[in-house]
Structure 1
Amino acid sequence: MASCYVCGKKKMVGNNVSHANNRTKRYFFPNLQKMKIITEKGPKKVHVCTRCLRSGLIKKAV
């Protein structure tokens, strides 16, 4: 599973809880998008979460 290049966000573990209070494991996945961004060494294709995209923490390569 990939993680965000900027903030390091990756999948988290939690529980599904039924009406009878039975608990089973489940995963929460971040909304990762693969995009081309500009880094110090030049353009690079990385996974970035939409929160970092919206916050303007990266510069997109055109």
Structure 2
Amino acid sequence: MAKRCEICGKGPMFGHQISHAHNVSRRVFYPNVHRIRVIESGAVVRKKVCTKCMKAGKVQKA
């Protein structure tokens, strides 16, 4: 399952995980994506939507 919002397109971001001894390794920051039922042009469909889009009211929940 792709961790990408279908409304705003927000996806994974990459960065570094840094320990106290400053050992650096790569890590991934995933967006908070949920599968919800959305009303789209009169029909109910399931979409993967990030919580920021839900909170901002960019989608109408079924």
Please classify the TM superposition score into its range, dividing by the shorter chain length.
Answer: 0.7 to 0.9
Contact kept? 2:12, 2:29, Cα under 8 Å: yes
Q: TM-score, normalised by structure 2?
A: 0.86
User: Counterparts in 2 of 1:22-61, with a 5 A limit?
Assistant: 22-40=23-41, 42-61=43-62
Q: Which runs of 5+ in 2 are unaligned?
A: none
Structure 1-normalised TM-score? 0.86
1:2, 1:40 → 2: CA distance?
Answer: 24
SS at match of 2:49: strand
Quick one: distance in 1 between partners of 2:23 and 2:3?
30
Q: CA deviation at 1:41?
A: 5.9
Fraction of identical pairs, as percent: 36
Aligned with 2:54: secondary structure? helix
